């Protein structure tokens, strides 16, 4: 993990290369891409780039939830079964994450997950301008990108701060999580 990523990672992802870190690192890359896109399309008055930006955020949350779940599972087969059950659905991933990590019950996270899942339930709508049947997918929801950016950032921070009750490899990490 690079120094830049390590500085932005929650303590449970930087204590060695353990469960959840690969999902988290990839989520952080998508979040970084979303930040870059936001700065670019904000200068150009939201000219359609908000949809790739929204996709980056949606995928960020999918991956961070999978990081949380991966951290909880005891075996690769358990994680595989969970991913097959939840798939790409944010609501199902979030429901399972809340079941396993009660600290994730947060109205800010609830609102973000609901918005993103209603906008793109399968992770496909924001990737394409229209469905296979020609239905316009990009003009179905109106939203204020600046407002959503703030909500997404707050939800991201809430998820990244969850790990206080999890076992860690050294005592210093437990102190950082509290």
Q: What is the CATH number of the domain that holds 155?
A: 1.20.120
Q: Is residue 9 part of a domain?
A: no
**What is the per-residue DSSP string for 39-107?**
HHHHHTTS-STHHHHHHHHHHHHHHHHHHHHHHH-SSHHHHHHHHHHHTT-HHHHHHHHHHH-GGG--H
Angle CA 170–74–160, to nearest 5: 55
Q: Is residue 52 part of a domain?
A: yes
Q: Is residue 3 part of a domain?
A: no
Q: Is residue 170 part of a domain?
A: no
Comparison of pLDDT for 119 and 11, the residue scoring more: 119
For position 114, what pLDDT does the model report?
Answer: 94
Any residues with CB less than 8 A from the CB of 74 and at least 6 apart, and which? none
18 contacts 65 by C-beta, under 8 angstroms: no
For position 10, what pLDDT does the model report?
Answer: 52
Structural domain range at position 48: 16-159
Question: What confidence category does residue 11 fall into, taking pLDDT thresholds of 50, 70 and 90?
Answer: very low
Of 3-17, 35-49, 53-67, 159-173, highest mean pLDDT: 53-67
For position 91, what pLDDT does the model report?
Answer: 94
For position 93, what pLDDT does the model report?
Answer: 93
Q: Is residue 150 part of a domain?
A: yes
111 contacts 151 by C-beta, under 8 angstroms: yes
Q: Is residue 10 part of a domain?
A: no
- Helices 50-72 and 145-160 sit at what angle, rounded to 10 degrees? 10
Comparison of pLDDT for 170 and 43, the residue scoring more: 43
For position 16, what pLDDT does the model report?
Answer: 40
- Helices 21-43 and 50-72 sit at what angle, rounded to 10 degrees? 160
What is the domain count for the chain? Answer: 1
Q: Is residue 171 part of a domain?
A: no
pLDDT at 18 over 70: no
- Please name every residue paired with 136 in a beta bridge, in sequence order, or none if there are none: 130
Residue owning tokens 């896109």: 37
């Amino acid at each position: 993990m690079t120094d830049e990523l390590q500085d932005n990672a929650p303590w449970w992802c930087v204590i060695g290369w353990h469960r959840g870190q690969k999902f988290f690192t990839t989520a952080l890359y998508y979040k970084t891409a979303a930040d870059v896109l936001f700065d670019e399309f904000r200068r150009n008055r939201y000219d359609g780039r908000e949809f790739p930006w929204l996709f980056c955020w949606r995928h960020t949350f999918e991956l961070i939830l999978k990081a949380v779940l991966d951290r909880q599972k005891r075996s690769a087969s358990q994680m595989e079964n969970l991913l097959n059950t939840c798939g790409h659905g944010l609501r199902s991933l979030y429901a399972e994450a809340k079941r396993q990590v009660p600290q994730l019950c947060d109205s800010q996270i609830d609102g973000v997950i609901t918005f993103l899942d209603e906008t793109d339930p399968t992770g496909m709508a924001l990737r394409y301008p229209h469905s296979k049947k020609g239905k316009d997918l990009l003009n179905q929801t109106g939203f204020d990108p600046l407002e959503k950016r703030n909500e997404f950032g707050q939800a991201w921070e809430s998820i990244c701060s969850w790990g206080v009750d999890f076992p860690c490899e050294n005592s210093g990490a437990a102190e950082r999580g509290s």
